Chains A and B, each alone.
Chain A
Amino acid sequence: MWRDAVLVAGKDLRVEARSRVTTNQVAPYALLVLLLFGFAFDQDHRLLVQAAPGLFWVAVLFCALLAIARSFAVEAADGARDGLRMSGLDPAGIFLGKAAAVAVELAALEVLLGAGIVVLFGSDLRDYGLLVATAVAATIGLAASGTVYGIMSAGLRVRETLLPLLMLPVLAPVLLAATQAWRAALGLSSDDGWQWIGLLATFATIYTSLGVLGFGALLEGA
């Protein structure tokens, strides 16, 4: 299973590295979203600093949608999904591999967006441990749940519109928890940020197990 996961993750990341879609399109898109938030808040500096954690995670969410759609679009062309199905790889391994590839892309985008909120919004990063722990737990949850819903809508004609409708309500608690944890980490609230990490970790664990259990059936049906 793990060997298959490494294989699939390596393949997906190689596809991304060669096509440069993530670097040339998704990353500029992410920065553009931050810029647009700046316009929406009319450069009100205090408001931007207050809202920065939420805006950051909303931007990550949008990027996650693109990354997931992209991750299954590469399988749609040339019957690659049939190839994946017939390859004899463990479906759980395929799931873990695709989710890992998405997680790596998202992590890179989060670093970029983090730099973006520091530069554009003037956020003051403080508790690095909490920031990184939140990002890791949230990213695993985003990637795992996204991969589940990605394969669920992969074979359908309406997938472009269906995927956000399926994913966004599910990811709402992730957005909420990650935002609250980051608010604590950026010194914007006096809450204990770590209780939110527990929630994020639970979410990530649940969706990783669901994906490992159900991906085979979903891949057959797609």
Chain B
Amino acid sequence: MTTTSTGATSTGAPSTGAPSTGAKPAGAGRSGGSRPGTGNRTTRVVGVAALITSAVTAYVGLVVSPPDVTQGVLVRLIYVHPAAATLCYVGFGGCALASLAYLWPRTRSPRWDRLAGASAEVGVVFCVLTLVTGSIWGRASWGVWWTWDARLTLTALLLALFLGYMALRRTGEGESRALRCAIAAVCFSVVVPIDHYATSWWRTLHQGNTLLGANVKIHGWQLTGMLLSFVAYGLIFAWLLIHRYRVEQLEDRYETVGFSAAIAARRAEGGG
């Protein structure tokens, strides 16, 4: 049984520029005939949609939309930064809500625990992305890589909180870990409003929300590009979340089934 070359083509990783072709990989001779991994029709559709919207966003953002009057070409960063920040909050919020659902006795299920873990990790990735793009933008427009502005500080604190949460998830196993992590996520989320007030009383420099603010100065292609970027990031987020959730599910099963299955397989090989 030769399952060595399973033909690792991309299953539609968004914005890698390598679109997923429907071609069957070389060694598809496994039982069941489906390729290994966490992809299926849903993720492929979402992945392709994410790639297409990313490409359109890049075209609108980098080619079509004109430079801004005050920001110049730097306005093109508006298509990568605010959406990432929003999705980072969505990830952390999703983690908190899923943890609450896990703690609620009637809805307690390992699914919520997996969703909380997957959501937090994808949130951490978007949080890092937010800080990196924000830092680049800050260096270009304020002249510094980092400034102790309220929202920046808050985002950095959030990242620290959820890195702690991810570390906690990597210890222990089973129900006790799930319960511990769920309580931790709730304990972390309740400090977020306090962090918000503490940092905003402390410092405020950041420009207000561009879309929700009272004086909407943004229009035309910029608005189109920004909305597109939210759709693209949203799809990427969904794609990552589904894959990560399934990895979490596989990890759960691996702890219980995987070991005995592996032993059984080795035995079968030895006997045959």
Instruction: Contact check, B190 vs A210: say whether CB atoms are below 8 A apart.
Output: yes
| B-facing residues in A141-191 (Cβ within 8 Å) | 145, 148-149, 152-153, 155-158, 162, 165-166, 168-170, 172-173, 176-177, 180
B184 pairs with A203, CB closer than 8 A: no
Q: For A88, list chain B residues within 8 Å (CB).
A: none
Complex CA distance for A165 and B166, rounded to whole angstroms: 10
Rounded to whole angstroms, the CA-CA distance of A105 and B186 in the bound complex is 28
Q: In the complex, A152→B188 CA distance in Å?
A: 13
A218 interface residue per 8 A CB criterion: yes
Also in contact, A180 and B157, with CB within 8 A (given A165-B163, A218-B183, A221-B179)? no
In angstroms, Cα B172 to Cα A218, docked, is 13
Among A199, A203, A221, A222, find the residue whose CB has the most chain B CB atoms closer than 10 A: A221
Q: Is B45 an interface residue (CB 8 A)?
A: no
Interface residues of B toward A: which range?
20 to 34
When distances are taken between beta carbons in the complex, the residues of chain B under 8 Å from A177 are: 198
Q: How far is the CA of A123 from the CA of B198 in the complex (A)?
A: 25
Shortest distance between the CB of A192 and any CB in chain B (Å): 10
Alpha-carbon distance between A191 and B202 when the two chains are bound, in angstroms: 10
Q: Which residue of A lies closest to B172 (CB)?
A: A156
Are A158 and B171 touching (Cβ within 8 A)?
yes
The answer to whether A173 and B195 touch (CB under 8 A), given A165-B164, A166-B168, is yes
Instruction: Say if the beta carbon of B194 comes within 8 Å of chain A.
Output: yes
Look across to chain B and name the residue whose beta carbon is closest to the beta carbon of A141.
B194
B191: chain A residues within 8 A (beta carbon): 170, 173, 203, 206
Are B171 and A176 closer than 8 Å at their CB atoms?
no
With an 8 A cutoff between CB atoms, is B167 at the interface? yes
Residue in contact with B194 in the complex, picked from A152, A199, A217, A222, CB distance below 8 Å: A199
Whether A195 sits at the interface, judged by CB under 8 Å, is yes
Knowing A210-B186, A221-B179 touch, does A162 contact B195 (C-beta < 8 A)? no
Q: Which residues of B contact A (CB under 8 A)?
A: 157, 160-161, 163-164, 167-168, 171-172, 175-176, 179-180, 183-184, 186-188, 190-191, 194-195, 197-199, 201-202
Given contacts A165-B164, A221-B180, 7 further A-B contacts (CB under 8 A): A158-B171, A170-B187, A177-B198, A195-B201, A196-B201, A199-B201, A217-B183
